[in-house]
């Protein structure tokens, strides 16, 4: 296994950081690596906001589920889907032509672009000995969160990412069996249930160990709980208010 594969296979999310700083040079390397990810027709429809000020991190953390690691990490990155830049630079050329910037297609393009760049950045950071964790909580109170960052229309925060030197060494969280996610030729809907049965036990064991016996739920129980909770139901209206997916 080469060095890169070994790095990828050893990923774990880091939720506790030392107070060692991440330098501006390191940050730039991480973002530059993010930029090298593929982008649909070179649109590069994403932006990233780096937050290092402790007061600002505290304010953002309060809006994103109050996770201590957002405050404690030296750099908090907010990855945004960004169609604002495209719309702005196009205006001079568009003249009277309509812009389809508000299509659902373009929401998908921008969201995917942000995610591909972010994952490259995550790998880059880990290759430098740093740790990261993604923060979906930025969508909890997305309007207030976006306002703090002065995001214009056609920009939305997809997720955050804490970056810093790890101060913990958590175990690797088990994934679904490979056959659970990989299909050959066509989608095989029958295997979902079989593959998941084994995984339910693996996951329950992992959670039991991690929680010191407090949690013993199987993966599918967690999933059912998640689907039954009315999580972030404001997203549709918020995105449309911001100019996304109007058609």
Among 59, 62, 116, 143, binds a second copy (CB under 8 A): 116
Among 19, 28, 144, 241, binds a second copy (CB under 8 A): 28
Cα 10 from Cα 190, distance rounded (Å): 30
Here the tokens at position 36 are 């090298």
Give me the residue label for tokens 């703090």. 148
Residue 58 found at the interface with a second copy (CB under 8 A): no
Which distant-in-sequence residues (6+ apart) come within 8 Å of 86 by Cβ? 43, 45, 101
Identify which range of 65-73, 125-133, 163-171, 208-216 contacts a second copy by CB under 8 A: 125-133
Rounded to a whole number of angstroms, the minimum distance from the CB of residue 33 to a second copy is 4
**Terminal alpha carbon distance of the chain:** 46
Which distant-in-sequence residues (6+ apart) come within 8 Å of 163 by Cβ? 22, 27, 30, 73, 74, 75, 76, 77, 125, 130, 131, 132
Cα 43 from Cα 37, distance rounded (Å): 12
Instruction: Report how many residues bind a second copy under the rule CB under 8 A.
Output: 121
What binding mask, one character per residue, do residues 85-114 give for a second copy by CB under 8 A, x or -?
xxxxxxxxxx--xxxxx-xxxx-xx-xx--
Residue 73 found at the interface with a second copy (CB under 8 A): no
Residue 56 found at the interface with a second copy (CB under 8 A): yes
DSSP state of 186: S
- Which of positions 6-25 make contact with a second copy (CB under 8 A)? 7-11, 13
CB 45 within 8 A of CB 89: no
Residue 235 found at the interface with a second copy (CB under 8 A): yes
Which distant-in-sequence residues (6+ apart) come within 8 Å of 167 by Cβ? 16, 17, 18
Residue 224 found at the interface with a second copy (CB under 8 A): yes
Residue 230 found at the interface with a second copy (CB under 8 A): yes
Residue 72 or 156 having the CB closest to a second copy: 156
Rounded to a whole number of angstroms, the minimum distance from the CB of residue 148 to a second copy is 8
Residue 245 found at the interface with a second copy (CB under 8 A): yes
Identify which range of 5-13, 64-72, 163-171, 208-216 contacts a second copy by CB under 8 A: 5-13
Which distant-in-sequence residues (6+ apart) come within 8 Å of 225 by Cβ? 217
Q: Is the dihedral of CA 104, 107, 111, 116 positive or negative?
A: positive
Residue 100 or 216 having the CB closest to a second copy: 100
- Which of positions 152-211 make contact with a second copy (CB under 8 A)? 152, 155, 158-159, 172-173, 175-176, 178, 180-187, 189, 192-193, 196, 203
Residue 220 found at the interface with a second copy (CB under 8 A): yes
Residue 58 or 175 having the CB closest to a second copy: 175
């Amino acid at each position: 296994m080469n060095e890169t594969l070994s790095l990828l296979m050893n990923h774990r999310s880091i939720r506790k950081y030392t107070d060692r700083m991440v330098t501006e040079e390191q940050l730039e390397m991480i973002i530059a690596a993010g930029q090298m990810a593929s982008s649909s027709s070179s649109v590069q429809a994403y932006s990233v906001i780096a937050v290092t000020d402790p007061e600002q991190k505290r304010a953002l953390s309060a809006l994103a589920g109050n996770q201590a690691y957002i405050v404690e990490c030296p750099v908090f990155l907010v990855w945004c889907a960004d169609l604002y830049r495209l719309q702005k630079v196009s205006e001079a050329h568009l003249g009277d032509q309509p812009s389809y910037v508000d299509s659902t297609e373009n929401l998908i393009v921008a969201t995917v672009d942000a995610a591909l760049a972010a994952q490259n950045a995550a790998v880059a950071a880990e290759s430098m000995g740093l740790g990261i964790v993604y923060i979906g909580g930025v969508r909890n109170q997305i309007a207030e969160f976006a306002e703090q960052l002065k995001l214009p229309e056609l920009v939305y925060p997809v997720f955050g990412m804490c970056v810093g030197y790890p101060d913990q060494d958590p175990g690797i969280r088990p994934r679904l069996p490979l056959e659970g996610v990989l299909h050959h030729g066509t989608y095989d809907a029958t295997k979902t249930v079989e593959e998941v049965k084994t995984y339910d036990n693996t996951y329950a064991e992992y959670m039991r160990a991690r929680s010191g016996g407090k949690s013993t739920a199987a993966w599918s129980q967690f999933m059912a709980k998640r689907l039954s909770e009315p999580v972030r139901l404001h997203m549709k209206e918020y995105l449309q208010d911001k100019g996304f997916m109007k058609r």
